[in-house]
Amino acid sequence: MISAMGPAPTRAAGSVGPVETRYADLPDPIDLDCGRRLTQVRVAYETYGTLSPERDNVILVCHALSGDAHAAGRSATSTDSTRDGFGAEDRDGAGTQGLGWWDGMIGPGKAFDTDRFFVVSTNLLGGCRGTTGPSSVNPETGRPYGSDFPVVTVADMVRTERAFLATLGIERLAAVAGGSLGGMQALQWAVQYPDRVGAVVAIASTHALHAQGLAWNAIARDAIMRDPDWQGGHYHGTGRAPSAGMGVARMVGHVTYLSSDAMTDRFGRGLQSSDDVRYTITDAEFQVESYLRHQAGTFVKRFDANTYLYTSRALTYFDLARQHGDGSLAKALEGVTARTLLIAFSSDWLYPPSASRDVEEALLGLGKPVEFHVIDAPYGHDCFLLEEARQTPIIRRFLSA
């Protein structure tokens, strides 16, 4: 039942209130894995809660492919919501306007409790929501980078986050947390800056995407790049953008974020028209067809196609064993000092529990502290955005230890 999709939080929990995204210009260039160097990097960010005098209560929250810095509270400047995931509109109704994508998880009394922690959220490197990315102006040419933007990795995103935090005077994180690509960033932090991370919360994530996940991402990227309006990646300023292709990419993504059972429960074979089929090729006939087109339409309005390409590429490249362990995940994780919390969802076939289990087993084998929970939930990968009530006590307990 859709009404039961996002169970209400079990405790009264507050909101961080109205928030405004801010911007920081990094003083130094970022040296990237690809060998190139990015200068004049700007980072969009928000913060929730209060930084302790010791600066020891910082949690960095990292977003997934389609998110941004606005993770919690209500935007003071926009009614757009980056709240996402299956059924978000139904769950929040009109109240969704301006809410951050993880508002159910961040706030006073919530999983990431702003009464205790200073939560920082940034738009990732390569993004299109304020942080430097392909749609930003290339200082060398005065025009948007487009596909001249360097190919960035999850490690580059983490480097940028680290450099940004330094501008706030923050040198060490109590925890770093995220789901999906955000979880990859969290794991990367633990490997890349082991002495700067106290705890990792990686939800619905993986140390390396499986072959089918690579395939879905490749199809989504190809859908964008095959759109003639992509123009080799230099569509900025032409008045045309590869919206048709990115709509297809989004639809592919969306189906991979859901479970088949959840789609059956929600849509079944329900028709758009009340009675019978209308014998049409072009029109949406089934409710699920209409739903997907709607999802595609809203997404292309708020998201940049090149950012989709770069972010998708980064998450397919991510492979801790290859990048840090000569092919061995255990070797890659040898230096980790953070306590690690892994959460996966039983119906998530894109980032299946087995991927988190690989990480758990590697950490256990190294004698490192790790906790792994598989939440039995039916909504697929989107559970990390939906199953707030059941994640909350697990995360609160972990962060209190």
Kindly state the smallest distance separating residue 372's Cβ from a copy of itself, in Å: 21
Kindly state the smallest distance separating residue 330's Cβ from a copy of itself, in Å: 17
Kindly state the smallest distance separating residue 208's Cβ from a copy of itself, in Å: 6
**Looking at 180, 243, 259, 347, which residue is catalytic?**
180
Considering the rule CB under 8 A, would residue 301 count as an interface residue with a copy of itself? Answer: no
Could you give the CA distance from residue 80 to residue 44 in angstroms, rounded to a whole number?
16
**Looking at 135, 348, 358, 373, which residue is catalytic?**
348
Which of the residues 18 through 77 are near a copy of itself (CB under 8 A)?
33-35
> CA 272, 348, 220, 65 torsion: positive or negative?
positive
Q: Which amino acid is at 218?
A: A
Under DSSP, is residue 55 helix (H, G, I), strand (E, B) or coil? coil
Could you give the CA distance from residue 383 to residue 197 in angstroms, rounded to a whole number?
26
Which of the residues 97 through 126 are near a copy of itself (CB under 8 A)?
none
User: Would you tell me how many other CB atoms lie within 10 Å of the CB of residue 369?
Assistant: 14
Stretch that binds a copy of itself, among 59-67, 169-177, 215-223, 392-400 (CB under 8 A): 215-223
Tell me whether residue 382 is annotated as binding: yes
DSSP state string for 253-304: HHHHHS-HHHHHHHTTT-BSSSSS----SSS--BHHHHHHHHHHHHHHHH--
Return all residues near 303 (Cβ < 8 A) that are at least 6 apart. 66, 128, 246
Q: Which is nearer to a copy of itself, 51 or 215 (CB)?
A: 215
For this structure, is 348 an active site residue? Answer: yes
Could you give the CA distance from residue 239 to residue 233 in angstroms, rounded to a whole number?
13
Stretch that binds a copy of itself, among 23-31, 66-74, 273-281, 393-401 (CB under 8 A): 273-281
Q: Which is nearer to a copy of itself, 195 or 275 (CB)?
A: 275
Considering the rule CB under 8 A, would residue 264 count as an interface residue with a copy of itself? Answer: yes
Provide the strand spans (E) within 70-194: 74-75, 106-107, 112-113, 118-122, 175-179
Under DSSP, is residue 246 helix (H, G, I), strand (E, B) or coil? helix
Q: Which is nearer to a copy of itself, 227 or 360 (CB)?
A: 227
Considering the rule CB under 8 A, would residue 310 count as an interface residue with a copy of itself? Answer: yes
Considering the rule CB under 8 A, would residue 147 count as an interface residue with a copy of itself? Answer: yes
Could you give the CA distance from residue 263 to residue 31 in angstroms, rounded to a whole number?
43
Tell me whether residue 269 is annotated as binding: no
Taking CA atoms, 249 is separated from 123, 243, 255, 332, in Å, by 21, 10, 10, 32
CA-only gyration radius of the chain, Å: 20
Q: Which is nearer to a copy of itself, 170 or 246 (CB)?
A: 246
Number of amino acids touching a copy of itself (CB under 8 A): 60
> Binding residue for a copy of itself (CB under 8 A) from 151, 166, 168, 394?
151
> Binding residue for a copy of itself (CB under 8 A) from 16, 201, 292, 370?
292
Stretch that binds a copy of itself, among 107-115, 255-263, 340-348, 362-370 (CB under 8 A): 255-263
Under DSSP, is residue 218 helix (H, G, I), strand (E, B) or coil? helix
> Binding residue for a copy of itself (CB under 8 A) from 56, 222, 334, 371?
222
For the CA atoms of 230, 141, 144, 310, the dihedral, rounded to the nearest 10 degrees, stands at 70
Active site residues: 180, 348, 381
- Chain residues that interact with a copy of itself, rule: CB under 8 A: 33-35, 147, 150-151, 208-212, 214-216, 218-219, 221-223, 225-228, 233, 244-245, 247-248, 251-252, 255, 258, 260, 263-264, 266-269, 277, 279-282, 284-286, 288-289, 292-293, 296, 309-310, 313, 316-317, 319, 322, 349
Annotated binding-site positions for substrate: 250, 382
